[in-house]
Amino acid sequence: MICISTPSPTVAGTTAKPFSSSFTTTSPTFSWPLFSKNFNNHAINSHKVSCNINVGSSHNNFVNNVDRRDVLLGLGGLTGVVSLTSVPSVGAAPLAAPDISKCGTTALTGFKPGEGTPTGGDCCPPDSSKIMDFQFPKVKTFKVRPAAHLLSTKYIAKFNEAIKRMKELPDDDPRSFKQQAHIHCAYCNGAYTQSSSGFPDVEIQIHNSWLFFPFHRWYLYFYERILGSLIDDPTFALPFWNWDTPAGMTIPKFFNDPKSAIFDSKRNQNHLTAVVDLGYNGADSNTTDIEKVKNNLAIMYRQMVSNATDGTSFFGGEYRAGIEPISGGGSVEQSPHTPVHRWVGDPRETNGEDLGNFYSAGRDTLFYCHHSNVDRMWSLWKMLGGKHKDLTDPDWLNTSFVFYDENKNLVRVYVKDSLLTTQLGYDYQRVDVPWLNSKPVPRAPGSGIVNKLIGKVKKTDEVNFPVKLDKIVKVLVKRPGKSRSKKAKEEKEEILIIKGITYDSEKYVKFDVFVNDEDDDVSAPDQTEFAGSFAQLPHKHKGKSSSKTNFRAGLTELLEELEADDDDYVLVTVVPRSGTEDLTIDAIKISFA
């Protein structure tokens, strides 16, 4: 595969030869175009892209044979380089990297001994008296992260050897498998406070906010560099679990080899060869494989397109020094990211270990391939054009973290330096993006359901909030405007917001949201009435067993498809799926953003 990227105001490549991939169960074969026409028209509006793709048996050996000098510098590099000072402006409140000498996971002691849960300071890294500020490598080595289901035997062996050597390092080595796994635990489970920002009593939590994507990008960046150094291969790149295309919707086979260093025994044994459920409710459904694939693709469309129309909806809400991340996670973090974690996690374990819980997720090598694909979503989202751009808030750009590099140096990094994957020296193998052509279809368009339910279903001002989600909740929500012009819709998205969701943070929590769906037998994810999901992995934090956050879903396209753009109200149905017995909601509203 030889691709050349040159600046150009014109669009090329919209008639690229399709790549055919097979998904084999008891269902027919799926064949998808490499990119949809719309994707190319929006994505490559500033680059001329020409690719000579030889589709055939050689494709599977792509990652072994490609000359990296000829790889398209594409997915992560379509926007200009951001050059900002590392020093926050006066009055700014970016979250500062934690003081690891003050790390302490006392919050984890709430788990009972013998449950496989760490206690005390088990998640804390080795301390260092010296912190280096990140600098882009002077020696440019470009890496291509390959699709895991397309790896050759040679590449799998390389990956296995790198993990094996990482596991052989002493536990107190910051590069060791144990210490690298603890990174996620420490940043996500109450080990760090905002003491560096002047708030020693406020913890750091990198989920449920705009920090989700950049934190995990930096995490994988150093993890990948460590693995490459251990096998003396600076071109080594982490594979991505390609769960957004039918051919990749099962756990890659090489993860299931018990003789491999990549193997983890703490996975759901019923899911080792099953089709992944990107909307997993905590228990297996009776849907067929073909239905799962259709639902998965529709979920991807919903979360990457109609629920991710602006930076806040995609990345998550703001999270500044001195506050907790209560503004809400982004679309992809909610789903598919979180349900995939829980779907892999082992139900035989008390807390869903390994992948099904924040503190233990990094112990499964599949975590890093899962998040490699999550990171790929950031790159793909920016290619959609329009408002699909990185945030520009200085507090986001100047937020910092610390990680150990391949030389055991503690390095301070900033969000602003993570925006372009090509600047960091990597990109992703080009594969199918079938969900772009998988827009959900209406179950009952033009049903006039809202008018039928006036007087039968309560309006929000008639509901005594907060409401408990121990059963299905239905409510009519007043729209701030209707029948908007095309221009008005382009300028502002109509957003459904569920505010003040208080939930038990030690459970897997999930609920689904539907719009204008009259029946209690609610629609499937491949139908327009499905608006999205709220999902949270179990975690602990200091002094509390509950968390509070918000949920967002885009309505503009959805209401158009349902022919309900002229309605004064929207029927919102919230369906409990898992761990919601004590969950409460403070408000349900619609706004423009």
42 annotated ligand binder: no
Residue 337 annotated in active site: yes
Q: Which of 237, 47, 9, 22 lies closest to 142, judged by CA? A: 237
Paired strand residues for 569? 478
User: From CA 75, how far away is CA 420, in angstroms rounded?
Assistant: 9
Q: What is the largest CA-CA distance in the chain?
A: 70
Q: Exactly one of 371, 388, 539, 541 is catalytic; which is it?
A: 371
3-class SS at 446?
A: coil
Task: Please name the amino acid found at residue 570.
Answer: V
Q: Is 592 exposed, middle or buried (0-12, 13-18, 19+ CB in 10 A)?
A: middle
Instruction: Show the tokens assigned to 281.
Output: 């409710």
Q: Exactly one of 337, 370, 388, 541 is catalytic; which is it?
A: 337
- The runs of H, that is alpha helices, within 247-333 are 289-301, 311-315, 331-332
Q: Exactly one of 47, 149, 182, 216 is catalytic; which is it?
A: 216
Provide the 10 A C-beta neighbour count for residue 150: 20
337 annotated ligand binder: yes
Residue 47 annotated in active site: no
Q: For residue 355, report the phi and psi dihedrals to the nearest 5 degrees.
A: -70, -15
User: From CA 111, how far away is CA 351, in angstroms rounded?
Assistant: 9
Please enumerate in sequence order all residues whose Cβ is within 8 A of that of 1, keeping only pairs 6 or more positions apart, or say none: 51, 52, 53, 54, 59, 62, 66, 71, 430
Q: Exactly one of 149, 207, 388, 541 is catalytic; which is it?
A: 207
216 annotated ligand binder: yes
User: From CA 120, how far away is CA 360, in angstroms rounded?
Assistant: 15
Cβ atoms of 547 and 502 closer than 8 Å: yes
Q: Exactly one of 23, 39, 315, 358 is catalytic; which is it?
A: 358
Residue 371 annotated in active site: yes
371 annotated ligand binder: yes
User: From CA 500, how far away is CA 418, in angstroms rounded?
Assistant: 31
Residue 136 annotated in active site: no
Instruction: Show the tokens assigned to 444.
Output: 């009952």
Length, in residues, of the chain:
593
HSE-up of residue 202 (Cα within 13 Å, Cβ side): 17
Beta strands in 113-236 (DSSP E): 132-133, 143-145, 193-194, 199-203
Residue 271 annotated in active site: no
The catalytic residue positions are: 184, 207, 216, 337, 341, 358, 371
Annotation: binding site: 184, 207, 216, 337, 341, 371
Annotation: binding site for Cu cation: 184, 207, 216, 337, 341, 371
